[in-house]
Amino acid sequence: MHLIVNQVFTGIVSGAVLVLLALGLNLIFGFMEIINFSHGAFFMLGAYVGFYLLTAFGSFWWGLALVPLLLLLLGAAVERTLIKPLYRRSAVDPLLLTFGLTYIVTQLVEMIAGKQGETVNAPSQLNFQLPLGFTSYPAYLTFVAVLAGLIVLGLWLLLERTSLGLIIRAGIRDSTMIQILGIDFDRFRVLVFALGIALAGVAGVLNSPVTGVYPEMGNDILITAFVVVVVGGMGSFWGAVLSGLVIGVLVSLTTLFASVYASIVPFVLMILVMTFRPRGLLGTT
């Protein structure tokens, strides 16, 4: 029993980074109707930028503080220069562009930073075992889960309690209507895209002490992040949160009992959801 509780907690912590990634994807898809295939590349970029800031300033915290701002600006620049010209074209065009962008970004990182990757140490302030009653758990991983929770809460408050969030939610529901009502939809598109990219960057920084940084790290996690979005319900905020945590826990428990099947669990779940509940766990029809 103790082992199962331990494993469930581990799954929740593992799922936290997936939740952040999935929320960014969901925001971009929900508001802009764009499937951002470059999301994993920005996750990886965030991790690398965090690594270089750590090297420059000698502290992990600088990376955590600055990466969201830097990726916010980068996301805005990408949206303005690459995505914006495609708005009046086929829905597939932005998908293909972001797909190509993934390879370009990955190759550029390989050329600049090398192919091997780098290791990132958890901040020394969190380099201890935290007694949690039922287990002792690495403090840094607990911090990741807590911070992810705070980011989710902050994002929810932004969407629910601010006029910006009101417009974003309205745009997700009916983008045509808010344009008719005279809202500068274009301005909010850049904001939402940048916010989604910033979330990917934060997820990358948080994940870097766990997995290290390497050029392919975004590709590895992106597919799972898409599965989280689909299982939770495309465009559903709490669906992405629930789905990320559920998938994290299911993978963790499968690892305990039948580890060889753990990697296919997200996809089995996706097939089941798409078959029996196509709108996702918390998606709307």
Partner 1 sequence: MRGGLARAALLAASALVAACGVAGGQSTAGGSTSSTPIRIGVVTGLTGTYAQLGEAQQNGAQLAIQELHGKAGNHPISVLVRDDQIKPDLALSQAKSLVQVNKVDFLTGCVSAATTVAINQVAKQAGIPYLGTCQTEALNRSPDFGPTTFHIAPLPSQDVNAIMPWICQNLGKRLYFLQPDYAWGHEQYDAEQKAAPADGCTIAGVTFAPLGTSDWTPYIPKIEAANPEVLMVGPAGNDQVSFLKQAKQFNLQSRMKIFQFLEDLSFDEQMGFDVTAGTYGATNFYWTIKDPGTQKFVKDYEKAYGKPPSGYAAYVYNAVMLIAKEVAAGHVTPSQFSRALAGSRFDLAEGPESIRACDHQSFQPTYIVQGLTQDEAASKGGSATYGYRSIVRTIPASEQQAPSCSELGLS
Least CB distance to partner 1 at residue 212 (A): 6
Q: If binding is defined by CB under 8 A, does position 122 make contact with partner 1?
A: yes
Size of the site for partner 1 (CB under 8 A): 59
Contact code string over 257-276 relative to partner 1, x by CB under 8 A: --xx-xx----------x--
**Cβ nearer to partner 1, comparing 55 with 263:** 263
Residues 4, 256: contact at Cβ < 8 Å? Answer: yes
Interface residue with partner 1, options 32, 214, 232, 239 (CB under 8 A): 214
What is the CB-side half-sphere exposure of residue 277 using CA atoms within 13 A? 15
CA–CA separation, 166 and 163 (whole Å):
5
130 φ, ψ (degrees, to nearest 5): -100, 120
Report the 10 Å Cβ neighbour count for 131.
10
Least CB distance to partner 1 at residue 133 (A): 15
- Name every residue whose Cβ is closer than 8 Å to that of residue 216 and which is 6 or more positions away in sequence: 44, 106
One-letter amino acid at 123 equals P
**Cβ nearer to partner 1, comparing 70 with 144:** 144
CA–CA separation, 133 and 136 (whole Å):
7
Interface residue with partner 1, options 24, 117, 218, 239 (CB under 8 A): 117
Burial of 89 (0-12, 13-18, 19+ CB in 10 A): exposed
Please give the residue ranges that form the binding site for partner 1 (CB under 8 A): 3, 6-7, 10-11, 13-14, 29, 33, 35, 37, 91-92, 95, 99, 103, 107, 110, 115-119, 121-122, 127, 129, 135-138, 140-141, 209-212, 214-217, 219-220, 223, 226, 230, 234, 251-252, 255-256, 259-260, 262-263, 274, 278-279, 283
